[in-house]
Amino acid sequence: MKLWPQYGRKTSSESRRLLKPRESTVMPTESSSQDGNGLSLTLQPEILSRTPGAGSSMSPESTDVRVPVASADTGGRPSSRRPRAGTHRHGHAHAEAESDQSDSDPESRESSVSLSELHYLFRWVQKSLPFIIILGAKLVIQHVLGLAIGVGLFTTFLYVNKNIQAQVFLQDRRSALQCFWLLSFLTASSLLFYCTFQTESLYYCLVLFSPQVDTLDFWEVLWAVGVTSFILKFLCMGFKCLILLLPSAVMVYRRRGQWYMFLEELSQVYQVIAPVPPWFRYLVSSPEVDGTVGLTLGVILALLYLIFKLLGFYGQWGSLQKTMRNFLSYEVNGAPAVQSQCNEVGNICPICQAEFRQPRVLLCQHIFCEECIALWINQEKTCPLCRTVITDTVHKWKTGATSLYLQLY
Ligand SMILES: [Zn+2]
Ligand SMILES: [Zn+2]
């Protein structure tokens, strides 16, 4: 307590002059309350630590300084000053707490409101669940043919895709009969589908035309585009079957992988373009709004769709270009291995465990049959023995796989 007047005396007259104007600005804002004695305990150590250099190094911005200086200048009672600073802070803390409370209140109210809304929605769904099930069953019955066709196309795709990959993996041991069966199955499925929906002339979608029907509603367009995507996949898989049927003398294994990849990329690009005509026609035509307004709105929507498609096509085109470069470059792995190199490793291929056939030595000096390593590199980028990176090229789709991605727009 005795430090207060001392501190006041220690401060130089210069610093007083600097601080005086601040005092005059602070004074009117100070609280007139005489309470807040509790803060004197925390205020004292602060002053003790600041006292030695108070006159010269104290920042004029510090609010702690203003109170004692003023008390020394005006000769007022220090005991009456201290609580003021305390009450000021104390009051401020209260105000903060109050403002915090007022901030959190609407949030909690909002969350409780949204919770009750969710609860209400849940109750509504719970109550009307039987009706939703009945309605769902009715929709299934109404579109049973369409749904059955969709399921049929999907299972056909899964079956053929899996079997083509298995046949590609078998290389020379592939079954020509199995490949022929897959090709026939695909052809029969596609023909059966187009015969069933002959009246809707869905095959127009395959050649970038809109189905030749008078009016197109949303579900019809979605249906036409979805099944066209499947049929295009079937077409691509059919070509892969044809490549599988070619004798090994006509096309070596490595070249086949490049063909599978090229066909798949080409098919994906075409699948991006194919939905444009039906969707464009659907967006342009607006039978609900007559006259030029409807037409203008339709054209704007269709143009926006075209821009969106062009952006998507740009990405796909880059991928196709990369594949084209890979297709034309005829990439081979490693260099031909000489007989002495083969003898050093026992003349046995680590992959097929048989004698080397057209041995290739990789960067890491490991030797494999040409076809064995080509098969491996179709799925991996590294040497199967030491994991040295052999190639940077991405070999997607070389395994004969077909993308499941269904292009719906
Ligand atoms: Zn081998
Ligand atoms: Zn290696």
Ligand 2 centroid–CA 77 distance in Å is 89
Going from the Cα of 248 to the center of ligand 2, the distance in angstroms, rounded, reads 28
Nearest bound ligand to the CA of residue 356: 1
Lowest model confidence (mean pLDDT) among 41-45, 187-191, 281-285, 337-341: 41-45
Percent of the chain whose predicted confidence (pLDDT) is above 70: 70
Does 294 have pLDDT greater than 70? yes
pLDDT at 361 over 50: yes
**Of 347, 344, 345, which Cα lies nearest the Cα of 357?**
347
For 254-265, the pLDDT digits (tens) are: 788 889 989 999
pLDDT per residue as tens digits for the range 220-234: 888 889 999 999 999
The CA 91 to ligand 1 mean position distance, Å, reads 85
Task: Say which range, 138-147, 201-210, 380-389, 397-406, has the weakest mean pLDDT.
Answer: 201-210
Residue range 79-97: mean pLDDT, rounded: 44
Question: DSSP letters along 61-72, please?
Answer: T-HHHHHHHHHH
Lowest mean pLDDT among 98-102, 213-217, 228-232, 376-380: 98-102
Cα(352) to centroid(ligand 1), Å = 4
Question: Is the pLDDT confidence value at 244 over 90?
Answer: yes
Tokens 């194919």 label which residue? 274
Q: 5 pLDDT exceeds 60?
A: no
Phi, psi of 355 (to 5 degrees): -65, 150
Ligand 1 centroid to Cα of residue 181, in Å, is: 29
Is residue 117's pLDDT more than 60? yes
Q: What ipTM goes with this model? A: 0.96
256 alpha carbon – ligand 2 mean position (Å):
25
Residues with CB under 5 A from ligand 1 (ion): 349, 351-352, 369, 372
Regarding predicted confidence, which is higher, 233 or 197? 233
Lowest mean pLDDT, pick from 103-117, 149-163, 165-179: 103-117
337 secondary structure, DSSP code = P
pLDDT of residue 109: 67
- Name the residues around ion ligand 2, CB cutoff 5 A: 364, 366, 383, 385-386, 388
Asked whether the predicted pLDDT for residue 9 surpasses 50, the reply is no
- Give the residue, 113 or 41, on which the prediction is more confident: 113
Alpha carbon of 347 to ligand 2 centroid (Å)? 16
What phi and psi, each to the nearest 5 degrees, are found at residue 31? -75, 150
- Whole-number Å distance, alpha carbon 367 to ligand 2 midpoint, is 8
Return the pLDDT at 242: 94
Q: Find the ligand nearest to 355 CA.
A: 1
* Neighbour tally for 184: CB within 10 Å: 12
Q: Which ligand is nearest to the CA of 334?
A: 2
Q: pLDDT digits over 144-169, tens only?
A: 888 888 899 999 999 999 999 999 88
Residue 367: what are its φ and ψ, rounded to 5°? -115, 135
Kindly give the interhelix angle for 63-74 and 3-10, rounded to the nearest 10 degrees. 90
Q: How far apart, in whole angstroms, are the C-alpha atoms of residue 264 and residue 237?
A: 9
